[in-house]
């Protein structure tokens, strides 16, 4: 019995010796498994957190890039809006300047017309008084006529001041280099053509068109010739040049005008038209008679001889305004508004002596024989 107990005790001891390492090993393996599982879970969590962080970072970058792009677009739009606003303000300012200039000019022109009308009436009365032998009345009328002439001269000075301001505005549109190139072209043209007169860069005025010249208008054989491209494009016409045929084609409002260098024939919508002088090339620019281009494009043209300025506007053509070519022919030999009054008011010489009053304006010459009832008017057409 005792021996059996000893065996059982020994078996128990052996089992304990064997089971304890196994349990320990099992626990160790279980711990490793738990640790591996924990580490796996931890890694999975980290991966998810990293993935989430990467997504957030990517989203943040995209949001930042979108914001930058949006800010850039807003900045670009703002700059464009500011530019448009500035252009509109400049355009409004330019329009106001044009309107102001037109208002001032029209007001002075109206005053000149009124003074001229009064002067003409008084000159008629003066003639009648002289012919009737009423020397006292004739003298009074003569003084009144002189006062009106003085008033007219003052109005001309005011007009000259306005025109001078306008011409300076035109010059201000050009850069220093452009002005120098224009003067160089002018010198070359004058050097190659002794029979012409070249006008200045500010010689063409318009309140409607933006005209920039790179070659001067010229007066040749009493005819004003202007650069066709600058004028045409200034009034929104398109200009095409055919080098091989030396032809220029102008298109505006459904009208086609074809000119050829050296030819005094032009074609308007296929209809042949004769030019006073042929189109020609100066400084590699095609120049044509002002009268022709004005009539063809429906432009209104006025010539201010005193300032040698051509005013061109878009609108219905007035035939009196296209006499610019003839007026410039007169300008090469005479001075605008040259007025001479030679009168003899002595009673005994009223029927024997002739007193001539010559009034020469832009395009009209009047000769008045003050001791006769005859008055002749000659108008250059």
Per-residue pLDDT in tens (0 to 9) along the chain, 381 residues: 666 766 666 666 666 665 666 666 555 666 666 666 666 666 676 777 777 777 777 777 777 877 788 778 887 777 777 777 766 665 555 556 566 877 888 898 899 999 999 999 999 999 999 899 989 998 999 999 999 999 999 998 888 888 888 888 889 989 999 999 999 999 999 988 888 899 999 998 887 888 889 999 999 888 889 998 888 888 888 889 999 999 999 998 889 999 999 998 999 999 999 988 888 888 888 898 888 888 888 888 888 887 888 888 876 544 343 444 544 444 444 333 333 333 333 333 333 333 333 333 333 333 223 333 333 333 333
For residue 209, is it within any domain? Answer: yes
Q: Same structural domain for residues 364 and 310? A: no
For residue 24, is it within any domain? Answer: no
Q: Same structural domain for residues 199 and 321? A: yes
| Exposure string over 27-61, b if 16+ CB within 10 A, otherwise e | eeeeeeeeeeeeeeeeeeeeeeeeeeeeeeeeeee
In angstroms, the CA 196 to CA 224 distance is 10
In angstroms, the CA 144 to CA 125 distance is 11
Q: Same structural domain for residues 186 and 232? A: yes
In angstroms, the CA 242 to CA 271 distance is 19
Q: Among 313, 332, 351, which residue terminates a domain? A: 332
For residue 150, is it within any domain? Answer: no
| Exposure string over 283-293, b if 16+ CB within 10 A, otherwise e | bebbbbbbbbb
For residue 14, is it within any domain? Answer: no
Q: Same structural domain for residues 250 and 286? A: yes
CATH for 285: 3.30.457.10
Q: Same structural domain for residues 274 and 186? A: yes
Burial class (CB in 10 A: 0-12, 13-18, 19+), 254: exposed
* DSSP β-bridge partners for residue 341: 357
The pLDDT value given to residue 176: 93
The pLDDT value given to residue 320: 40
In angstroms, the CA 174 to CA 185 distance is 15
For residue 62, is it within any domain? Answer: no
Report the SS3 class of residue 95.
helix
The pLDDT value given to residue 164: 87
The pLDDT value given to residue 148: 93
Q: Same structural domain for residues 374 and 250? A: no
Residue 132: both structure tokens together: 């009737």
- Give the predicted TM-score (pTM) of the model: 0.55
What is the phi/psi pair of residue 283, to 5°? 55, 40
Q: Same structural domain for residues 258 and 196? A: yes
Nearest CA to 214 out of 244, 234, 196 is that of 234
For residue 251, is it within any domain? Answer: yes
Residue numbers of the domain that contains 320: 177-332
What is the phi/psi pair of residue 19, to 5°? -70, -40
Q: Same structural domain for residues 242 and 313? A: yes
Nearest CA to 148 out of 129, 121, 128 is that of 121
Q: Same structural domain for residues 374 and 321? A: no
Q: Same structural domain for residues 358 and 274? A: no
The pLDDT value given to residue 98: 62
The pLDDT value given to residue 339: 36
For residue 104, is it within any domain? Answer: no
For residue 364, is it within any domain? Answer: yes
Q: Same structural domain for residues 184 and 211? A: yes
**How many domains does the chain divide into?**
2
Q: Among positive and negative, which fits the CA dihedral 140, 141, 146, 148?
A: positive
Q: Same structural domain for residues 347 and 252? A: no
């Amino acid at each position: 019995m005792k021996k059996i107990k000893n065996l059982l005790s020994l078996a128990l001891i052996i089992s304990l010796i064997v089971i304890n390492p196994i349990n320990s090993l099992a626990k160790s393996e279980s711990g490793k498994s738990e640790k591996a599982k924990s580490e796996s879970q931890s890694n999975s969590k980290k991966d998810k957190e990293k993935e989430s962080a990467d997504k957030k970072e990517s989203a943040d970058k995209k949001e930042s890039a979108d914001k930058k792009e949006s800010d850039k677009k807003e900045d670009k739009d703002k700059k464009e809006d500011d530019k448009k606003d500035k252009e509109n303000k400049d355009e409004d300012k330019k329009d106001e300047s044009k309107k102001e200039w037109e208002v001032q000019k029209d007001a002075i022109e109206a005053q000149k017309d009124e003074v001229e009308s009064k002067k003409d009436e008084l000159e008629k009365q003066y003639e009648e008084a002289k012919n009737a032998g009423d020397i006292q009345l004739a003298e009074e009328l003569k003084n009144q006529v002189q006062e009106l002439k003085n008033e007219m001269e003052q109005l001309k000075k005011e007009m000259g001041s306005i025109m001078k301001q306008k011409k300076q505005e035109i010059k201000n549109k050009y850069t220093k280099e452009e002005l120098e190139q224009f003067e160089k072209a002018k010198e070359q043209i004058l050097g190659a053509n002794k029979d012409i007169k070249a006008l200045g860069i500010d010689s063409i005025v318009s309140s409607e068109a933006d005209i920039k010249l790179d070659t001067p208008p010229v007066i040749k054989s009493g005819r004003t010739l202007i650069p066709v491209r600058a004028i045409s494009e200034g009034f929104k016409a398109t200009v095409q040049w055919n080098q091989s045929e030396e032809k220029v084609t102008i298109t505006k409002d459904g009208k086609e005008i074809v000119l050829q260098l050296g030819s005094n024939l032009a074609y308007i919508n296929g209809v042949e038209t004769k030019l006073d002088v042929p189109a020609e090339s100066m400084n590699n620019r095609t120049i044509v008679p002002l009268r022709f281009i004005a009539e063809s494009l429906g432009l209104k043209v006025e010539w201010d001889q005193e300032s040698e300025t051509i005013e061109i506007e878009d609108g219905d053509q007035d035939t009196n305004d296209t006499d610019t070519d003839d007026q410039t022919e007169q300008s090469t030999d005479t001075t605008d508004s040259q007025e001479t009054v030679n009168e003899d008011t002595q009673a005994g010489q009223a029927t024997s002596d002739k007193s001539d009053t010559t009034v020469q304006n832009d395009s009209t010459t009047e000769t008045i024989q003050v001791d006769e009832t005859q008055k002749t008017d000659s108008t250059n057409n």
